[in-house]
A and B are shown apart, each in its own frame.
Chain A
Amino acid sequence: MPVTQTTKWDWEITNKTTFWSHSAQELWAYRHLLVGLVRRFFLLNYNQTVLGPLWVLFQPILTLVTYVLVFNKLVGISTGALPPVVFYASGIVLWNFFSDSFTGTSNTFRENIQLFSKVYFPRIIMPLSVVSTQALRFLIQLVMFICVIAYYSLTTDFDLTWSWNLLLLPVAIALVGLLALGLGLLFSVLTAKYRDISNLVSLGVRLLMFVTPVIYPLTVIPEKLRWVVQLNPLTPLFELFRLSLLGQGLVTPGQLGYSLILTVVLLLGAVLFFNKQGDKLIDVV
């Protein structure tokens, strides 16, 4: 019948893989799944623990104590004009956000293959849920961190000068998150294909911390060597984070532009790569 011939099909499955495999409409239909997965993460992590959600805060506090003791008291790295506690807290909170998001998303295929091989949903929901979860954790920690700053500015002579730079705070945080997502998506495909890369990821993240101003301010690096650290797109973001919140940081608009462009290009490329490869990977992992 010619009438039925001309009616349109709702969907089509071929061997072609596309870069834009999901329409915004389709992703929107799965928004509850994203929220559900974030919720699941918190439920799973803090079920049957004594401290429960307090672990979100407990972990950075312990790290902070260690860093202050080791890097400040023992090694004696200068923290510039900022009190060591405030300085390290800012670095730890932002760095954890980056590294947990990155390592979490980079295992997308390996950890969810059981699920991916049984049911269809837009694969990108999984990495998005990891980054959303980490962002939520980060925001909770940020609140704690602001309390620390408030405590210091009230009790010590540490002086906080507010400025319009504070408006750039969300930019710094968002860029760190997006950079982690982009890298994570890229590596999730690679770790699925080559198992050895997942070892590289955990090692790489640990080493990357040392070329990011987490435990030292950029100002303590001799000017001749500064370019090495500045090659890292995270550097301007960490400096911007400190500048906007604490008034101390070394960042130029040019460097920020470099980070911004790199993040956008990386994220775009990674999403396309992820979509293109994602369908094929089910047969491989």
Chain B
Amino acid sequence: MSETVIKVEHLYKLYRLGTIGTGTFRRDVQRWFTTSILKKGDPYILSDPEKKAKHIENQSVLALQDINFEVKHGEAIGVIGSNGSGKSTLLKIISRIVKPTEGIVRGRGKVSSLLEVGTGFHQDLTGRENIYISGYILGMSKSEIRSKFDEIVAFSGVEEFIDTPVKRYSSGMYVRLAFAVAAHLEPDILIVDEVLAVGDADFQKKCLGKMREVSQSQGRTILFVSHSMQAVKNLCDKALWLNKGELQAFADVNTVVNKYLNQTQRANFKQIWISPANAPGIDWLRMKAVELVPQLDRPEDPLDIRVPLMVKFQFWCLKEDIELSVGLLLFTASGECIFDVPSDPVLSQIGVMEGQCTIPGNFLNDGSYYVCLHFVKDTSIPVYDLDECLSFDLEDYRGAIQWYGKWWGAVRPKLPFQVKHTAQILENTSV
């Protein structure tokens, strides 16, 4: 059994909103005088406990509430959660940057944190000088930096420019050099916050590779925050899911990531209008419902690019014998249309009409999409557009592919693709 290197118990962090303190020097002095010298209650916090609780509630936000977990030696932990869920606060507390409001964190070994790429870098200094000063700030000793200097420079790939001020670097070179310094830290516990969002795909891969090397072959403990589930799954053994400051789950990485994706994705999958009177539409056509039904094998599976998606819709029709067809439009989050698929025209009947269309699995790329419906009369006259009625995120799935950069293209269809061997190279064939 390996030993516990970090133990977090009942951790709370309360941030006050707005101005901290009373905001002015005069009132701070007055408060200090009444509380410390006169030993009376704080004049700026109401004395009634009920009101006081409400006051505190209104003016503060609990970034972390009652967090408990333990990390064992050599584990790589992915910390996941939506924006504002307290991930960074947790890392900042463990890195000793901010103090917790309540609770205790105990640990063994040297901790290094990498919450930003290029901490301590200065624009006017050369690459060489920045390696040293940044290394010192991150807690390396002079001899440590000196012995790894060549390795750092080689990893960053900026050998030629090492004596040039970093302000003349391209942003890619800057980031590479900055990460290279951090990657050569040798702490017992490494804390990394979303640093892979920068740099090109090639470099991201190199960084992840380096981190995997650090955790697996060198046996160091890693806490890693990322929004890329692919990266977390590949790098970490366990995942810790924070939701609005609370610990939602802490277990095996696949279990937690799937649970997380499942919960966060089902946001705008369904719209229902109760009565035709306030439903969107025109005088003779009113929407009743639109729904996206992912064809999952098991309900707890994540919504990734392999899953077929069924779009179902219902509408009230108040006119007969119109030759009506419906178009299904799919857009990327940035507004590019991926396809516009029309249905065969049907003759309308008074009452509720419904339709459905299935987008196959293994067809779209990962990303955010939204759906629009388009109603057409006589195959040519636009009648009504229902804009952005459904939206969804498709999660990435790459199986064993060891590539973590953004996959290009609006679609990623599985097409029949063959590469095969056709002939031997003969010895005496002239080239």
Complex-state Cα separation, A118 to B97, whole angstroms:
7
Given contacts A15-B100, A115-B120, A283-B16, 7 further A-B contacts (CB under 8 A): A9-B7, A32-B142, A43-B129, A119-B120, A121-B137, A197-B25, A284-B21
Pick the contact of A119: B4, B93, B101, B138 (CB < 8 A). Answer: B138
Is B109 within 8 A of A10, CB to CB? yes
Q: How many A residues, CB 8 Å from partner?
A: 39
Name 20 interchain pairs, CB-CB below 8 A, sorted by A: A1-B1, A4-B3, A9-B106, A12-B105, A12-B106, A12-B107, A14-B99, A14-B105, A15-B99, A15-B102, A15-B103, A32-B142, A36-B136, A40-B122, A40-B125, A47-B165, A118-B97, A121-B139, A193-B28, A279-B99
Pick the contact of B122: A32, A44, A196 (CB < 8 A). Answer: A44
Pick the contact of B25: A14, A32, A40, A196 (CB < 8 A). Answer: A196
Point out the residues of chain A lying under 8 angstroms from B95, CB to CB: 119-120
A-B contact count (CB 8 A): 108
The 5 closest A-B pairs by CB, nearest first: A33-B136, A9-B106, A13-B105, A120-B96, A36-B136
Pick the contact of B20: A7, A17, A119, A283 (CB < 8 A). Answer: A283
State which size class the interface on B falls in: 35 or more
**How far does the Cβ of A166 sit from chain B's closest Cβ, in whole Å?**
36
Given contacts A119-B138, A283-B98, contact A10 B108 (CB under 8 A): yes
Q: Which of A217-266 contact B (CB under 8 A)?
A: none
Pick the contact of B137: A117, A119, A193 (CB < 8 A). Answer: A119
B159 interface contact, C-beta 8 A: no
Point out the residues of chain B lying under 8 angstroms from A36, CB to CB: 132-133, 136
On A, residues with C-beta under 8 Å from B are 1, 4, 7, 9-15, 17, 29-30, 32-33, 36-37, 39-40, 43-44, 47-48, 115-121, 193-194, 196-197, 279-280, 282-284
Stretch of B111-119, B206-214, B338-346 at the chain-chain interface: B111-119
B15 interface contact, C-beta 8 A: yes
Residue from A33, A37, A43, A193 with most neighbouring chain B CB atoms (10 Å): A33
Pick the contact of B129: A40, A119, A280, A282 (CB < 8 A). Answer: A40
Point out the residues of chain B lying under 8 angstroms from A30, CB to CB: 136, 139
**How far does the Cβ of A147 sit from chain B's closest Cβ, in whole Å?**
32
Given contacts A30-B136, A115-B137, contact A9 B108 (CB under 8 A): yes
Complex-state Cα separation, A193 to B23, whole angstroms:
9
**How far does the Cβ of A125 sit from chain B's closest Cβ, in whole Å?**
9
Point out the residues of chain A lying under 8 angstroms from B99, CB to CB: 13-15, 17, 279-280, 283
Complex-state Cα separation, A243 to B142, whole angstroms:
42
Pick the contact of B97: A1, A47, A120, A196 (CB < 8 A). Answer: A120
Is A14 within 8 A of B129, CB to CB? no
B257 interface contact, C-beta 8 A: no
Point out the residues of chain A lying under 8 angstroms from B387, CB to CB: none
Point out the residues of chain A lying under 8 angstroms from B21, CB to CB: 193, 284
Point out the residues of chain B lying under 8 angstroms from A10, CB to CB: 107-109
Is B100 within 8 A of A13, CB to CB? yes
Complex-state Cα separation, A116 to B97, whole angstroms:
7
Given contacts A32-B142, A194-B25, A284-B21, contact A13 B94 (CB under 8 A): yes
B124 interface contact, C-beta 8 A: yes
B175 interface contact, C-beta 8 A: no
Per-position 1/0 for B81-100, Cβ under 8 A of A: 00000000000111111111
**How far does the Cβ of A37 sit from chain B's closest Cβ, in whole Å?**
7
B394 interface contact, C-beta 8 A: no
Point out the residues of chain A lying under 8 angstroms from B173, CB to CB: none
**How far does the Cβ of A128 sit from chain B's closest Cβ, in whole Å?**
14
Is B20 within 8 A of A284, CB to CB? yes
Given contacts A283-B20, A284-B21, contact A118 B104 (CB under 8 A): no
Complex-state Cα separation, A37 to B120, whole angstroms:
10
Is A282 within 8 A of B124, CB to CB? no
**How far does the Cβ of A218 sit from chain B's closest Cβ, in whole Å?**
35
Residue from A10, A197, A282 with most neighbouring chain B CB atoms (10 Å): A10
Is A4 within 8 A of B97, CB to CB? no
Residue from A12, A32, A282 with most neighbouring chain B CB atoms (10 Å): A32
**How far does the Cβ of A176 sit from chain B's closest Cβ, in whole Å?**
28
**How far does the Cβ of A15 sit from chain B's closest Cβ, in whole Å?**
5
